Amino acid sequence: MGLAYVGNQNSSTLTVINTDGDEIVKTIPVGRNPVQVDTSFDRTEVLTANGGERSISVISTRTNQVIEIIRNVTPEPFGAVHADGKLFVPDQFTGNVTVLDAGSGTLIKRIPVVTRILSAVLHPNNQKLYVTSLVHNIWIIDVTTNQLIQSIPKEAIWGLAFTPDGKRFIANHYLSNFAAIYSTCTNRLIGKIPVGIAPIGVAISSNGERAYVTNSRSGSVSVIEIAAKRVIKTIPVGRVPYEVALSPDNRKIYVTNYGGTTVSVIDSKSLRVITTISVGAGPRGISII
Amino acid sequence: MGTATGTQATQSLFAYVSNQNDDSLSVLAIPSNRTIKTIRVGQLPNSAVISPDGARVYTTNRGSNTLSVISTSTNTLIQTVRGVGSEPFATAFAPNRGRIYVPTLYTGSVFVLDSVTNNVLQEIPIGNGLVGIAVSPDESKVYVTSLGTGISIIDANTNKVIETIPATGSWSVRFLPNGTRYYVNNYGTNLVSVYNAGNNALIKRIPVGAAPLGVIVSKNGQRVYVTNSRGSSVSVIDTSTNGVIKTIPVGFVPFGIALTPLNRRAYVTNFGDNTISIIDTTTNSVIETIPTGNNPRGIAITS
């Protein structure tokens, strides 16, 4: 059984969905305005970055209860990535990544990165954190030393996802409406794929063959065949689709429709929406365990 | 009170501050700077603007995806406007046309409202990530800034985009009162760009502090003030030379900015540390710092 955790920004709740039957298991009140949902390294905890109250809620995936609230993190937390016993919290307005001790929640460091940070994604080797920005470049933080070690010249990128082997990553060029496949080793462009308008979220299947991209202004999801470097299908979903995640068996794709109150569930074989689940208002982040 | 016929009555001024993380609008009396009322508005109010007639305050609420309309005579919420897309970001008025324009971040459209009824009349699709807006003083055009589309210019008669100026990462746009020039800040490149409003030609790029967000022009057209969100400062630009004449340290993540009617004071919301910095514009220094609600963002002052 898989469990999908959906952060409803405007209801300040987390909806838990059983991905077998697509029924809601529980609705958990979290901090104000959760903007992103991440999981702990061992997936025993879910972390919501609460943009409306400077906090991070920690939820046990065993009990589905809030077990901790880390407060006074940063003016507007935009995610919480767990790596090397620490939490890395990007903030788009301060342009910093705040590093906290994951156990105690105490501040370790604030790393000035770049104006308008949009996402922070851990490389599968668990050593490098890739930070994207609305302004320019991809910024790489060494999670062991908490140092900014590299900046890759690129246009503004929103969502980014690695193939499971870590050799490639797909980055959504939000401003120019394409998804790009890059070599992680050389940072070179391998394929430039036109998608829908204003692509935000991206997820890659565990066999590394497909990528799913949310087109926020088109109300659709582009399905990319990575080897062929092309879109094989565009699936209409709800208003302002934002984040996307796959069920553990990869049979279903879950899309948060931030402009409404639903999650669209896509069958990965037929590439059709098979059900639409009513959640809270402004569903934005999603993580599936 | 009321006996000294030779003295002019002191008119009360008020500042309206949207506290994003409290879903509230604080009313501050000027010059005491005391909060006289806190009004509950929609979720995550990210801007506050006073209508040209001074009768109403509008907040855009990027959480509830609404506009809250507040009467300035009673300081109460009188209307909630829906149907303005996903994350409305700002409002601009064309009083002679009876129109209000609202750009929306994720929908990427400008919504046109009737300024009397506040009904949504039209949605104009523009581009990705709309954030700022200004109506030209003659009300012939509407300028929209965006994260990625550039500056889109809408003909206010047809509500169609007639020109798009490339300007990646533009946040706010403000006109000189005489309408000859407009100032746009580029948060990604730490610049303020000055354009000729007649032909939309770039006149100058002015380096300011890091990640400029708020811009305001003084009513006499002599000064432009810019909040540098990552620089924790305000840049003061002399419009005769288009040079920065002073950089004033303020609080953490300064965001919104408003001027008192005679341009004597500038009020700056510090989103990062829950304060307002009050600047004396004669000396260009902070004379007072006052606490606000959580994450103060938009600010407007009555005239």
Domains of chain B, residue spans:
13-301
Q: Which conformational region is residue A164 in: left (phi greater than 0), alpha (psi within -120 to 50 degrees), or beta?
A: alpha
3-state SS, residue A171 = strand
Written out in words, the top-level CATH class of the domain with range B13-301 is mainly beta
The residue behind tokens 């906290």 is A100
Angle at A74 between CA A69 and CA A75, to 5 degrees: 110
Query: Is the preceding peptide bond at B31 cis, omega within 30 degrees of 0?
Result: yes
Sole residue written with tokens 């709740």? A13
Query: Given the structure tokens 């550039």, which residue do they identify?
Result: B150
CA distance A9 to B203: 42
C-alpha B104/C-alpha B147 separation (Å) is: 12
- Complex ipTM value: 0.94
d(CA B85, CA B266): 32
Q: What is the pLDDT of residue B6?
A: 37
Q: Backbone phi, then psi, for B21, in 5-degree steps?
A: -85, 0
Contact A175 B108 (CB under 8 A): no
List CB contacts (< 8 A) between A216 and chain B.
Answer: 106
A261 C-beta neighbours (distance < 10 Å), count: 18
What is the token pair recorded at A24? 């809601």
Concatenating the DSSP letter of every residue in chain B gives: ----TTSPPPPPEEEEEEEGGGTEEEEEEETTTEEEEEEE-SSSEEEEEE-TTSSEEEEEETTTTEEEEEETTTTEEEEEE----SSB---EEETTTTEEEEEBTTT-EEEEEETTT--EEEEEE--S-EEEEEE-TTSSEEEEEESSS-EEEEETTTTEEEEEE--TTEEEEEE-TTSSEEEEEETTTTEEEEEETTT--EEEEEE-SSSEEEEEE-TTSSEEEEEETTTTEEEEEETTTTEEEEEEE-SSSEEEEEE-TTS-EEEEEETTTTEEEEEETTTTEEEEEEE-SSSEEEEEE--
What is the spatial order of strands in the sheet that B130-135 belongs to?
A: B130-135, B141-146, B151-155, B160-165
Cα–chain-centroid distance for residue B218? Answer: 12
pLDDT confidence of residue B5? 40
Instruction: Collapse the DSSP code of A276 into the 3-class scheme (helix H, G, I; strand E, B; otherwise coil) and give the result.
Output: strand
How far apart are the CA of B224 and the nearest CA of chain A, in angstroms?
A: 22
Alpha carbon of A137: minimum distance to chain B alpha carbons (Å): 11
| Spatial CA neighbour of B269 closest among B216, B217, B219, B224 | B216
Could you give the CA distance from residue A88 to residue A70 in angstroms, rounded to a whole number? 13
Q: Ramachandran region of residue B190, left (φ > 0), alpha (ψ -120 to 50) or beta?
A: left
* Sheet of strand A220-225: strand arrangement: A199-204, A210-215, A220-225, A230-236
Q: Is the dihedral of CA A214, A219, A225, A230 positive or negative?
A: negative
Of A33, A259, A281, the CB nearest to B106: A259
Interface contact A175-B229, CB threshold 8 A: no
Token readout for A285 is 């982040």
| B212-217 β-sheet, strand order | B212-217, B223-228, B233-238, B243-249
Q: How many residue pairs bridge chain A and chain B with CB atoms within 8 Å of each other?
A: 100
Instruction: From B114, B66, B120, B112, select the one nearest B88 (Cα to Cα).
Output: B66
DSSP state string for A6-70: EEETTTTEEEEEETTTTEEEEEEE-SSSEEEEEE-TTSSEEEEEETTTTEEEEEETTTTEEEEEE
pLDDT given for residue B167 in this prediction? 86
d(CA A77, CA A55): 7
As a whole number of angstroms, the distance between CA B18 and CA B279 comes to: 19
Q: Rounded to whole angstroms, what are the CA distances from A262 to A62, A237, A279, B52, B179? A: 25, 10, 5, 39, 45
**Residues B30, A21: Cα–Cα separation, whole Å:** 59
Q: Look at residue B10 in the predicted model and tell me its pLDDT.
A: 55
Best A240, A258, A262, A284 residue to mutate vs chain B (most B CBs within 10 Å): A240
Mutate to test the interface with A, among B20, B22, B43, B171 (most CBs of A within 10 A): B43
**Residue A17 backbone phi and psi in degrees, to 5:** -115, 130
Return phi, psi of residue B263, to 5°.
65, 30
Is the Cβ–Cβ distance between B136 and B179 less than 8 Å? yes
- In sign, the C-alpha dihedral spanning A137, B247, B147, A36 is positive
Q: What is the pLDDT along chain B (303 residues), one digit of tens a residue?
A: 333 443 444 568 999 999 999 999 999 999 999 999 999 999 999 999 999 999 999 999 999 999 999 999 999 999 999 999 999 999 999 999 999 999 999 999 999 999 999 999 999 999 999 999 999 999 999 999 999 889 999 999 999 999 999 987 899 999 999 999 999 999 999 999 999 999 999 999 999 999 999 999 999 999 999 999 999 999 999 999 999 999 999 999 999 999 999 999 999 999 999 999 999 999 999 999 999 999 999 999 999
Strands A55-60, A65-70: parallel, antiparallel or unpaired by DSSP?
antiparallel
Instruction: Round to the nearest angstrom and report the end-to-end CA distance of chain B.
Output: 22
Only one residue has tokens 């300035």, namely B72
Flag if A10 and B43 touch (Cβ within 8 Å): yes
B64 shares contact with chain A (CB less than 8 Å): yes
Q: How far is CA A271 from CA A178, A220, B228, in A?
A: 20, 12, 46
Mutate to test the interface with B, among A135, A139, A177 (most CBs of B within 10 A): A135
Neighbouring-strand partners of residue A66 = A59
How many C-beta neighbours within 10 Å does residue A21 have?
10
Whole-number Cα distances in Å, B165 to A136, A221, A251:
20, 30, 45
Query: In tens digits, what is the pLDDT along chain A, a chain of 289 residues?
Result: 799 999 999 999 999 999 999 999 999 999 999 999 999 999 999 999 999 999 999 999 999 999 999 999 999 999 999 999 999 999 999 999 999 999 999 999 999 999 999 999 999 999 999 999 999 899 999 999 999 999 998 889 999 999 999 999 999 999 999 999 999 999 999 999 999 999 999 999 999 999 999 999 999 999 999 999 999 999 999 999 999 999 999 999 999 999 999 999 999 999 999 999 999 999 999 999 9
Locus of tokens 């919480």: A80
Smallest CA-to-CA distance from A233 within A196, A264, A199 is with A196
B44 vs A: CB within 8 A: yes
Distance from CA of A135 to the nearest CA of B (A): 5
Residue B1 has what pLDDT?
Answer: 38
Single-letter amino acid, residue A166 = G
